[in-house]
Structure 1
Amino acid sequence: MPSQPSPVESPRRAQIRREAARLFAARGFLGVGVDEIGKAVGISGPGLYRHFAGKDAMLADLLVGISQRLLTEGRRRVEAAPDARAALDALLQGHIDFALDESALITLHDRELLHLPDEERHRVRSLQRQYVELWVTVAREAFPGLGDEARAAVHAVFGLLNSTPHSAAAGRDDDRAAMAALLHRLALGALASAAATVR
């Protein structure tokens, strides 16, 4: 089942994944052909089949792969943190980096998840639920006042982080740093406000 990226990815395969994500996000999964993806990376359309079984496999690889990567990296960050607040800061930074640097994957998920076969779609949903629960656990520890509101607050933070990059220009490095810092402050503020409101 070619749905997850290989642990050590070849440069060509990584290039195909980037271009497929960009094209699918810009024109839609159904609006992009294998030949067009091949042209974008400088190989023939049929040459892509040495790296992926087909266009469906590329989509599955992208969506399952990013869900797995977010969960794995999130767990790593939490385990490395000395306390709950540091863990929350680390989770925020990781998700902000993803949102700012890989916004095409956010668009892809929002628009194209329905095109995945049932098995891969269920896999994405399962990984996402585990990622949310990781955040909920850490958010409750960092802001004990959240209680039962933690899950809704975490989803609201995801909405904030995942929607902002669509309106943010890539810009210079200092622009990105300023946007990252703003998103971090807003997300923490949202969680702290929710905790204070519950009390």
Structure 2
Amino acid sequence: MTDVDRDAGPTAPSRRSQAKADRRRELLRAAARLIAERGFPGVRLEDLGSAVGISGPAVYRHFPNKDALLVELLTDISERLLAGGTAVLDRVSDPAEALGQLVDFHLDFALGEPDLIRVQDRDLHSLPDDARHRVRQTQRRYVEIWVDVLRRIDPGLDTTRARIAAHATFGLINSTPYSAVSPSVDATNGDPTRGVLRRMALAALLADSA
């Protein structure tokens, strides 16, 4: 075997693997957009293939069925939120600063991933029972990060009220895909969405503090 042959061996599979991973990400982005527009029942795998320029049967190389695609979308959302919230706690010790960074992180997600937010809000019930249970568990862990920070700011705040405040804040921020005219544009370009939501979120979160 020549040096060229030896070099070519691992390269070709690597390129194929990368191309497959890129296609999978493209399919997930298209799925988020289509499901956000039509709802999960209104999207077929054939529609998804058409959206990315491949045949319907080719989609099955990446996802065995439509349920598997939704599971990956919604599992990814919950895991990314949990990872982001955990990262805030790992790098910030002051609870007031941590709360501000949690709000900023959630705003970044909602403004940057409006399709995913809409899919999560509307189609979570379409998940198979076991997947929905896993997603709910991950979501609860994310909520508890916020609860912990709120109770560190105000030790007199009970857990139930802290959870209510956290969920209310998620509802406020997650309404962005439905209400903002141009959620991807920041205030410097004439869209005050982020600044308004940040102030309202912090005010709501701290309103029940002593």
TM range (shorter): 0.7 to 0.9
CA distance in 2, matches of 1:105, 1:69: 12
Q: SS of the counterpart of 1:194?
A: coil
Note the alpha carbon deviations across 1:58-109, whole angstroms, 9 max, x for none.
1000011110110011101111113111211111111101111112122212
Shift of 1:129: 0.7
Q: Which residue of 2 aligns with 1:179?
A: 193
Opposite residue 140 of structure 2, the aligned amino acid is R
Q: Is the 8 A contact 1:81 1:87 kept in 2?
A: yes
What's the CA shift for 1:143?
A: 3.6
Q: Does 1:189 align with 2:203?
A: yes
Q: CA RMSD in A?
A: 1.8
**Matched residues, percent identical?**
49
TM-score normalised according to structure 2 size = 0.83
Among 89, 101, 122, the alignment partner of 1:78 is: 89
Gaps of 5+ in 2: 1-19
| CA distance in 2 between partners of 1:21 and 1:143 (Å) | 38
* Structure 1 unaligned residues grouped into runs of 5+: 1-8
1:77, 1:158 → 2: CA distance? Answer: 17
The structure number with the bigger radius of gyration is: 2
| Partners of 1:11 and 1:100 in 2: CA distance | 23
For residues 16-165 of structure 1, what are the structure 2 equivalents within 5 Å?
16-148=27-159, 149-165=161-177
Separation (CA, whole Å) in 2 of partners of 1:37 and 1:101: 21
**1:168 matched to which residue of 2?**
180
| Alpha-carbon shift at residue 176 of structure 1 (Å) | 8.0
Post-superposition offset of 1:177: 6.9
Residue 192 of structure 2 aligns to a residue in which SS?
helix
Q: CA–CA distance in 1 between the matches of 2:145 and 2:70?
A: 25
Q: How many residues are matched?
A: 188
Question: Do the aligned partners of residues 36 and 176 (structure 1) sit closer, same or farther apart at CA in structure 2, a change above 3 Å counting?
Answer: farther
CA distance in 1, matches of 2:126, 2:135: 12
